[in-house]
Amino acid sequence: MAKQSLKIRLKKMDIGINIILIILVLLTFYPFVAMIFMSLKDNPQFIHARWVPTLPFHFENYSYAWQAVGQYVFNSIFVSGVSAVGGVIFAALSAYVFARFEFPGKGVLYMMVIALMMIPGVLTLVPQFLLVRDLKLLDTYWVLILPYLAGAQPFGIMLLRTFFEGLPHELFESARLDGANELGVMRNIAIPLSMPILGTLMIMNVTSTWNDVLWPSVTLSNNKVKTIVFGLWGFQSQYYTSWGPLNAAYTISALPLLILFIFTSRLFIQGLTSGALKV
């Protein structure tokens, strides 16, 4: 009887936990769903029934929004893509050296790199701005790409170094005995085994650069190179009373990240569960 009572109690507890989780999931996703509903409304529909779908749908809101923010979306895709790929490549090269080579001052140099993670980004804002200004990079793609590449290195090096050190040493020795040089060993052994964590790091880099608004707002004034998050500011001031096009622009800005996660979710989860984040 005691065991049966315990089973009933545990079953009720599981049901209660599942209900709570379902409520939390709905609360998490509903704002995005509501944003899509709002993007298909005109102003009267928004005023009278903003939280539920209403007919007719106004798909022309997306046309207005795309005309205003389409260039910003392409700019963000280019900047985030180049920054993420370049950041992962440079971080992987540096991390491989720290993990597989011995040289004087290795520990001190590595600690200096990791110490950069302790410095708040706002403290380097003015020196960075003066540097890119003197290099005449303002209002170009490079004023975003180069700082993003540099900023991604400390965390990327720390993450990948830990992963590379955990790979079996025998695999590297076997490749060297077969005549492979260090670049070949890295390309054929380390990189294929590290694809989940490399993919995770790339997704994290894309997300951070896509959502950054402070650095673009300081270094960009040309509409041709503005990114989507910064460009939405100007669009919001232009359409602050037109809720349909405004929410359509928000939806368009979120779609690339959503599509990226849909196609890379398995890789992302494998990277998180591979143990590589246990540093």
- Residue carrying the six token digits 């899509």: 36
Please report the pLDDT score of residue 277 as a whole number: 43
Q: Three-state SS for 167?
A: coil
Please report the pLDDT score of residue 142 as a whole number: 94
Mean pLDDT of 141-164: 92
Give how far the C-alpha of residue 161 lies from the chain's centroid of Cα atoms, to the nearest Å. Answer: 20
Calpha distance 94→106 (Å, rounded)? 11
Nearest to 110 by CA among 148, 146, 164: 164
For residue 73, what pLDDT band results from cuts at 50, 70 and 90?
very high
Give how far the C-alpha of residue 111 lies from the chain's centroid of Cα atoms, to the nearest Å. Answer: 25
Q: Which two tokens stand for residue 194?
A: 């590290």
Calpha distance 218→265 (Å, rounded)? 33
Mean pLDDT of 138-147: 93
8 versus 164: which is more confidently predicted? 164
239 versus 102: which is more confidently predicted? 102
In 189-241, which residue ranges form alpha helices assigned H by DSSP? 191-193, 195-210, 214-219, 228-238
Mean pLDDT of 64-70: 88
pLDDT in tens, 219-245: 988 888 989 888 887 777 665 667 888
Q: Is a pLDDT exceeding 80 seen at residue 200?
A: yes
Give how far the C-alpha of residue 17 lies from the chain's centroid of Cα atoms, to the nearest Å. Answer: 30
Calpha distance 230→214 (Å, rounded)? 8
For residue 182, what pLDDT band results from cuts at 50, 70 and 90?
confident
Which of 45-54, 197-206, 221-230, 236-245 has the weakest average pLDDT? 236-245
Q: Is the peptide bond before 56 cis (omega within 30 degrees of 0)?
A: yes
Cβ-proximal residues to 244 (8 Å cutoff; 6+ apart), any chain: 38, 39, 40, 41, 42, 43, 46, 58, 61
For residue 196, what pLDDT band results from cuts at 50, 70 and 90?
confident
For residue 264, what pLDDT band results from cuts at 50, 70 and 90?
confident
Calpha distance 81→257 (Å, rounded)? 11
> 249: how many CB neighbours lie within 10 A of its CB?
27
Q: Is a pLDDT exceeding 70 seen at residue 273?
A: no
Percent of the chain with pLDDT over 70: 90
- Phi and psi at 152, nearest 5°, equal -80, -10
